[in-house]
Chains A and B, each alone.
Chain A
Amino acid sequence: MVLVYSDEKKLTLELLHKAHDLAKEQQKKTIAVCIGHEADAQDFLAHGADVAVVVQTPLKEFKAEEYATILHHLIKEHSNETVLIGSNKNGKELAGRLAAQLQAGCIMDCTNVYLKDKKLTTERMVYSGNAIAVEQFSSHPQIITIPPKVFDPLPKNEHHKGEVVKKTIDAGQSASKILKVQEMKTEGINVEDAEIIVSCGRGFKKKEDITLVSQLADVLKGRTVGCSRPIAADLKWLSEDHWIGLSGHKVKPKLYVACGISGQIQHIAGMRDSGVIVAINKDPEALIFKSADYGIVGDLYQVLPKLTNAIKDKMG
């Protein structure tokens, strides 16, 4: 069996595609797990699951300890050999804990998953994007987490047959409890979906100057502003949904413009798969130029207004 779980529905659908392919190749079945969200079960079947297990639980929010116990039960029961988990923060903490409970191997953030010599094989970025590790499991069960947007969901097929199974599982009770869940300040930006991103870094002297970036983003169709870590994490000029890099969001727009960003490896790790990369930096030695297709060496305060106007003219 290939079992799929994520606390994000969209991610579950993406993983189901891979699960479906892996299962087919090995004549196995695909199980999608819904914890709480019963309504999603039919969609999971229509997107490739053979079985959708609906776990009824009094838990209102994701909790790693209890959710790991739930998946542990299911995996034992179905002799699941491969477990695909959506790689977001909850998914990763769930996968690690589950791996411990099952005494299983676990590989995080896989961007490629396939069978080689009949063994489950994965690829993932390591050393901040300097290399790709190819890893292979030598035992079962095997746990893999996969980030968003690595795979596309299968097209919806209402005729795909499958069954919905309801289950009540005693998830136990951890010694910890959730006291509150607060929305964090965000601007509702989705950099992962953006086609064009204009990003700012420490080269900007004050928060107000970021309008230079948003004006350029506006004339380009993408309209999306990104930033390096210090702008979101230290200066807090922009909310964390703009943050691009190893510990931020991974993006692959068709055009990425980096303004006043030095190009440290941890930033590059988040945008290296972009189509065309443009850098604007006053330091001709800045690392960012090594990762760029086009660059302008110059003061962004002079370059950006001119570039914005020139693009506006060009695009009419």
Chain B
Amino acid sequence: MNIIVCAKQVVDVSEIKIDASTKKPILAGIPQKISDIDKNALEEAIKVKEKTGGKITVITVGTPDAKERIKELLAMGADEGVLIPQPQHADYYVIAHLLAAAVKKIGSYDIILCGEASIDMFSGQMGPRLAGLLNIPQITYAQKITVEKDTLVSERNLGDKAVTIETTYPVLLTVTKEINQPRLPSLMQILSAANKPIHEWSVADLASADVTPKVHTIDVKGVPMQRKNIIFQDDVDQSVTKLVDELAKAGVLR
């Protein structure tokens, strides 16, 4: 099986600080990482490869420093990486076109894996968009994947029900965070990953891709979160009494 994993470099959202005066998030200088669920996608790819053999290629559209992140994925078990520079003005339309063009350039593939959503944007848009551009079947929110020679069976988690879908290849799946536990690479794997190739393709190399965005971000606003932050830490009985008084005053005990 030839497997392609789409992995995104994101800011570590838990490290974001809010600018006290503008109330906007400060994004500069925040550590970058691979979007959590994309590691689940790679883990699933590795499991498939362990069963069927084949090759795993990871593709990232991102800034040049994403190369360091791709190395982590090669250490985990991907065979090759592809890094495509992210155009300055890029929306989902643009990035999906770049990913689709890269997939076509890779040529032979059976399975494409994405995360159910990226941890910074949490859209769940890229997977279905890419499947649509490639005109191949899609299975989103996969919580279980079983690979056979000619068919793949997967279970979608819809929260209140599970839908089992069977498909032929090629297919694109987006996986949930619960599908597996991504492995941590060993020191040996980290060292040997240095010899695995990372191809850097320019937007010009992917001539078929249209890079005119359809959507523009006109502002990123802060979210005011005004909370009282009244914390009781004395003796438990006193704390409880004070809390109940406050809640009664706030009018929520009716």
Binding site for B on A (CB under 8 A): 61, 64-65, 68, 89-90, 92-101, 103-109, 121, 123, 125-139, 142, 174-184, 186, 196, 220-221, 233-234, 240-241, 246-247, 254-255, 264-266, 272, 275-278, 284, 289-299, 302-303, 306-307, 310-311, 314-315
Query: Quick check: B220 and A303 within 8 Å, CB to CB?
Result: no
In the complex, what residues of A have CB within 8 A of residue B191's CB?
none
**Which B residues are within 8 Å of any A CB, using their own CB?**
11, 13-14, 16, 18, 24-25, 27, 91-93, 96, 116-117, 119-133, 136-141, 153, 156-168, 171, 177-178, 210, 213-223, 225, 227-233, 236-237, 239-241, 243-244, 246-248, 250, 252-254
B195 to chain A minimum Cβ distance, whole angstroms, is 36
Kindly provide the distance from the CB of A197 to the nearest chain B CB, expressed in whole angstroms: 12
Please state if B227 and A292 are interface contacts (CB–CB under 8 Å): yes
Are A135 and B218 in touch, CB under 8 angstroms? yes
Tell me whether A137 and B215 are in contact in the complex, defined as CB-CB below 8 angstroms, given that A61-B163, A95-B125 are known contacts. Answer: yes
6 closest A-B pairs by beta carbon, nearest first, are: A100-B132, A96-B128, A105-B214, A176-B167, A97-B132, A176-B137
**Docked-complex contact B93 and A126, CB < 8 angstroms:** no
User: In this complex, what residue of B is CB-closest to A229?
Assistant: B177
Bound CA span A172–B237, Å: 67
- On whether the beta carbons of A178 and B165 are closer than 8 Å, the reply is yes
- B222 proximity list for chain A (CB < 8 A): 131-132
**CB atoms of A293 and B91 under 8 A apart:** no
What B residues does A233 contact at CB under 8 A?
A: 177-178
Q: Contact between B240 and A181 (Cβ–Cβ < 8 Å)?
A: no
Partner of A307, one of B91, B165, B243: B243
Complex Cα spacing A280 to B213, Å: 46
**Shortest distance in angstroms between A313's beta carbon and chain B's nearest beta carbon?**
8
**Which residues on the A side are within 8 Å of B171 (C-beta)?**
175-176
Quick one: given A131-B24, A175-B168, A184-B160, are A93 and B217 in contact (CB under 8 Å)?
A: no
Query: Can you give 14 contacting A-B residue pairs, CB < 8 Å?
Result: A64-B140, A89-B141, A92-B128, A96-B125, A100-B133, A106-B92, A127-B16, A135-B217, A181-B162, A196-B252, A291-B225, A292-B229, A293-B228, A295-B229
Smallest CB gap from A99: residue in B = B129
Question: In the complex, are the beta carbons of B227 and A277 less than 8 A apart?
Answer: yes
Number of A-B residue pairs, CB cutoff 8 Å, is: 275
- Docked-complex contact B236 and A303, CB < 8 angstroms: yes
Question: Which residue of B24, B96, B225 is within 8 Å of A272 (Cβ)?
Answer: B225
A178, B247: Cα distance in complex, Å: 50
With the chains together, A160 CA to B230 CA distance in Å?
51
Residues on B with beta carbons closer than 8 Å to the beta carbon of A127: 11, 13, 16, 25, 27, 120
A186–B160 contact, CB under 8 A?
Answer: yes
A123 contact set on B, CB distance < 8 A: 221
Closest B residue, CB atoms, query A104: B214
Indicate if the CB atoms of B220 and A314 lie closer than 8 Å.
no
Beyond known contacts A135-B217, A293-B229: 20 more, CB 8 A cutoff: A97-B128, A103-B210, A106-B93, A106-B125, A108-B123, A127-B11, A131-B25, A131-B220, A133-B219, A136-B218, A138-B213, A138-B216, A179-B166, A180-B164, A182-B162, A240-B159, A265-B13, A293-B230, A293-B250, A295-B232
Shortest beta-carbon distance, B143 to chain A, in Å? 10
